[in-house]
Amino acid sequence: MTKDKLIQFIREILPMSPSRAEQVAAKFQPVKVDKNAYILKAGAVCNASYFIEQGIMRAYIYDLEGNEVTTALYPSNTYASELLSFFKRTSAREYIQAITDCLTWSISYEDMQESFHTIPEFREYGRLNIVSQYSLLKERMLSNLQETAEKRYDDLIHAHPELLQQVPLKYIASYLGIADTSLSRIRAAYSKK
């Protein structure tokens, strides 16, 4: 595995020379995550952040009735991490599991902290990446409150069409905050457009 996709992603977040991007990427280590394997379980502290070069992961919790609720979907070219646990060093409330076999680049909490203090570009890249992840989370929260399920489905398939081929529909329905039967109805109506 080469770090080409990771370096490209870093340079998209924060334009910099290839040599500086390589320096930012230096602490990331290749990690293969098998389908259904966990990179984090609730109750543990999140000790690494994973850039997904290839594959899909999901985060989920259990609601009060014991049902799994998908809280995030992480396709290729995104990070999978529980940021509160990672940065605050507290127990995670979510599980993060590979939906497919995944090729990732992982960085430990310790290596990230060291890089923040020694590489100015890493610090700026990290800040911009966290802002980007926060923005996506905020947009999703507002979307769940202000948009129809049909609109949320449409947005998801336009942003990440690969999810529909590789992610079980029950996870997509849960992520959209709807029942499986509602997703089936939305998909049927969508296919007639």
Task: Indicate if 29 and 69 belong to the same structural domain.
Answer: yes
- 103 contacts 83 by C-beta, under 8 angstroms: no
Task: Indicate if 17 and 27 belong to the same structural domain.
Answer: yes
Task: Indicate if 184 and 124 belong to the same structural domain.
Answer: no
**Residue 22 lies in domain:** 4-146
pLDDT at 116 over 80: yes
Task: Indicate if 68 and 161 belong to the same structural domain.
Answer: no
The number of folded domains in the chain is 2
To 10 degrees, the CA torsion angle through 9, 137, 54, 174? -170
Instruction: Assign 60 a pLDDT band (cuts: 50, 70, 90).
Output: very high
Instruction: Assign 76 a pLDDT band (cuts: 50, 70, 90).
Output: very high
Single-letter residue type at 153? Y
**3-class secondary-structure state, position 116:** helix
Q: What is the arithmetic mean of pLDDT over 130-152?
A: 91
Residue matched to tokens 């998801």: 156
Task: Indicate if 165 and 130 belong to the same structural domain.
Answer: no
> What's the pTM?
0.91
Q: What is the arithmetic mean of pLDDT over 46-56?
A: 97
Q: What is the arithmetic mean of pLDDT over 154-158?
A: 92
Provide the CATH number for the domain around residue 89: 2.60.120.10
- 44 contacts 98 by C-beta, under 8 angstroms: no
- 157 contacts 164 by C-beta, under 8 angstroms: yes
Task: Indicate if 129 and 157 belong to the same structural domain.
Answer: no
Task: Indicate if 20 and 81 belong to the same structural domain.
Answer: yes
Task: Report the mean per-residue pLDDT for the chain.
Answer: 93
Task: Indicate if 178 and 91 belong to the same structural domain.
Answer: no
- End residue of a domain, out of 129, 146, 163: 146
Task: Indicate if 90 and 153 belong to the same structural domain.
Answer: no
Instruction: Assign 89 a pLDDT band (cuts: 50, 70, 90).
Output: very high
Task: Indicate if 72 and 132 belong to the same structural domain.
Answer: yes
Question: Which residues, 6 or more positions from 164, have their beta carbon under 8 angstroms from its beta carbon?
Answer: 157, 172
DSSP H or E run through 54:
strand 48-54
Instruction: Assign 83 a pLDDT band (cuts: 50, 70, 90).
Output: very high
What is the phi-psi region of residue 132: left when phi exceeds 0, alpha when psi lies from -120 to 50, beta otherwise? alpha
pLDDT at 193 over 80: no
Task: Indicate if 25 and 59 belong to the same structural domain.
Answer: yes
Residue matched to tokens 């992603």: 9
Task: Indicate if 97 and 140 belong to the same structural domain.
Answer: yes
